[in-house]
């Protein structure tokens, strides 16, 4: 059985500042991700996670 409150929160769009803070993003980047991925928290979380993995891989890549 799922928690109705948790389901309701999943349906609510992120505020730019809270999304930026959660993932350590600039407000500008967070806003772009939120616009590009719609109101879905799951899609926005996935986009942020993918972006952060990409950035980490770029840092590890030898020059």
Domain count within the chain: 1
Residue 37 in tokens = 């991925």
pLDDT for 61 equals: 72
Q: Are 44 and 19 in contact (CB under 8 A)?
A: yes
Instruction: Please give the model's pTM, rounded to 2 decimal places.
Output: 0.77
Intervals of the chain under pLDDT 70? 1-10, 63
Measured distance CA(4)–CA(19) in Å, rounded: 22
- Helix and strand numbers, DSSP H then E, in the chain: 4, 0
Measured distance CA(60)–CA(63) in Å, rounded: 9
What is the domain extent for residue 20? Answer: 4-60
């Amino acid at each position: 059985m799922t928690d109705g409150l948790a389901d309701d929160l999943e349906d609510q769009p992120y505020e730019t500042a809270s999304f930026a803070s959660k993932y350590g993003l600039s407000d500008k980047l967070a806003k772009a991700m939120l616009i590009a991925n719609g109101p879905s928290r799951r899609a926005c979380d996935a986009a942020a996670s993918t972006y952060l993995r990409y950035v980490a891989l770029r840092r590890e890549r030898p020059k």
